[in-house]
Amino acid sequence: MDAWLIDPPCRAARVLLFCLLGRLTAPTGVTTLESGTTLKAVAQSHVVASSVGINEAFYRILAVGVGCFFVGLSGAFYAHYNLIIGPDSFNLAATLWFVMYVLVGGINSFAGPIIGALVLFLLPEVFRDLKMYTPYISAGILLIVVYLAPQGIAGLPRLISSKYGKR
C-alpha cells in the first residue's frame, strides 16, 4: 500500500482539506435554499422579516450555531496540529489580523476574507527584505482599502463598474 494513504500527517491533511472544501462550498449551497433566502432577509432587515412571519430569533441562533460549529472545528484542527492550546495561543494580535483579513478582502462577500488573507499573507512574502515593516505595510493597505474601496478588494469590480460603467 502506498505510504501517503497510511501516513498520519497526510491523513490529517486529507481530512483538513475535506473539511475546508465542505466549509467553502456550504455557504453557496445554503444561499440557494429557502433557509438561505430567509437568512438574507433577516440580515437585510429583521423588522421586515419578522413582520412577514419569519422566526427571526431562530434564524439568528441558527447562524450563530453554524458559525460556532466551523470555528470549533477549526480550533480542534489547530489543537491537533500544535498538540497544545494555552491562553497565549490566541492573543489580540491574531484577532486583529483576522479582522484585517475581513476588512481588506470585503465584509459583504463570501470570497472577501479569503482574498484579504491571501493579500495580507502573500504581500510580505513578496517583499521579504522589508519583513520588519510588515505591520506598517499591512496597516497602510488597510487604510488605502478602507478609504478607496469601502467594500474591500472583492467589491472593486462593482465599484469600478458603478463609477465607469454605462451612464
Q: Is the pLDDT of residue 22 over 80?
A: no
All 3 cell numbers of residue 115?
A: 482574498
Interacting residues of 137 by C-beta distance below 8 A, sequence separation 6+: 123, 124, 127, 130
* Residues 88-135 pLDDT 10s: 877 888 888 888 888 888 888 778 888 888 888 888 788 788 778 888
Q: Coil, helix or strand for 121? A: helix
Q: In the chain, what are the domain boundaries?
A: 1-86, 91-167
pLDDT at res. 11 = 67
Q: Are 99 and 116 in contact (CB under 8 A)?
A: no
Taking each helix axis from N to C end, the angle separating 8-32 and 34-44, rounded to the nearest 10 degrees, works out to: 70
CB 26 within 8 A of CB 73: no
- Read off the pLDDT band of 13 (50, 70, 90): confident
Give the torsion sign (CA, 138, 139, 145, 146).
positive
Lowest mean pLDDT among 13-27, 38-52, 106-120: 13-27
